[in-house]
Amino acid sequence: MNNTNNIDAYRRKFLMGVAGTATAITIAPGLLLRQAGAKAPGDEISNKNRWGMLIDIDRLPNGGQTVVDACQQEHGWGHEEESNDKQKAQWVRTVHVKEKLTGHEFDLPVMCQHCETAPCADVCPTGASFRRKDGVVLVNKHICIGCRYCMMACPYKARSLVHEALFDQKPHSPRGKGTVESCTMCVHRIDKGQLPACVEASNGAIIFGDLNDENSEISQALKAKGGKQIRADLGLNTGVRYQGI
């Protein structure tokens, strides 16, 4: 091991230590990422992890509206004053489903499903739509040209274009006119070892965690009770899974 590597290892250890104490003091223990492999702010993401969410719709209060509210609160979308209802940003929405055969009805929250083979990233002409090493699909708004190919390609209608000049954005969630946006799986939080805002608000109905780690809570829950993908027929291997649909 050369010197640089030593320094790096030391730095990582040090940052882990600092972040560990800081989070323990400022956040209630229940909100900590109960997850081996949780990341300290200074660490780079790794393809060892694949972050995912498992949503149990039977345990979600009011059809998932809680999720919508929490996301809106966290990222500040949906208040575009000059846009009509079709233009307004919507990172997550509730969808009402009725099974014709049985008459069974339910609601589910639908956000970006963080596809493994993401059609939005495939079609993007500039590379702005991309999948991080840890499975989170994002738009790099610095190079998005607002062409909206990704919105057309997304089978889940998960994306929005900002149609108007914005101000008072949340400092942790930059958003702006002429760029496309969607659920970021709250990367600004998970990169610091915290849970996404909707998961925190879901009262345990959404499990966030590492799909690559067979001992993680999410993998265990999936193993025990299974979890469906919406439009599994598309073979996108989504990072968001559902129980109770």
Q: How far is CA 89 from CA 41, 121, 176, 194, 211, in A?
A: 29, 20, 11, 25, 29
CA–CA dist 17, 12 (Å, integer): 9
Is the dihedral angle over the CA atoms 90, 231, 137, 145 positive or is it negative? negative
Residues 6+ apart with CB under 8 A from 120: 129, 137, 150, 151, 153, 154, 159, 182
Upper half-sphere CA count for residue 147 (Cβ side, 13 Å): 15
Residue 167: CB minimum distance to another protein, A: 5
- What binding mask, one character per residue, do residues 139-178 give for another protein by CB under 8 A, x or -? -xxx---------------------xxxxxxxxx-xxxx-
Residue 16 partner contact from ligand SF4, another protein, none using kind-dependent CB cut-offs of 5 to 8 Å? none
Q: Which is nearer to another protein, 56 or 134 (CB)?
A: 134
Minimum separation from the CB atom of position 158 to ligand SF4 (A): 4
Number of chain residues interacting with another protein (CB under 8 A): 35
Interface with ligand SF4 includes 89 (CB under 6 A)? no
Q: What residue 50 binds from ligand SF4, another protein, none (CB within 5 to 8 A, per partner kind)?
A: none
Site string for another protein, 186-215 (x = CB under 8 A): -xx--xx-----------------------
- Rounded alpha-carbon distances, angstroms, from residue 207 to 54, 162, 188, 194, 202: 5, 30, 18, 13, 9
**Which of ligand SF4, another protein, none has residue 21 at its interface (CB below 5 to 8 Å by kind)?**
none
Q: Which residues bind another protein (CB under 8 A)?
A: 15, 39-45, 81-82, 130, 132, 134, 138, 140-142, 164-172, 174-177, 179, 187-188, 191-192
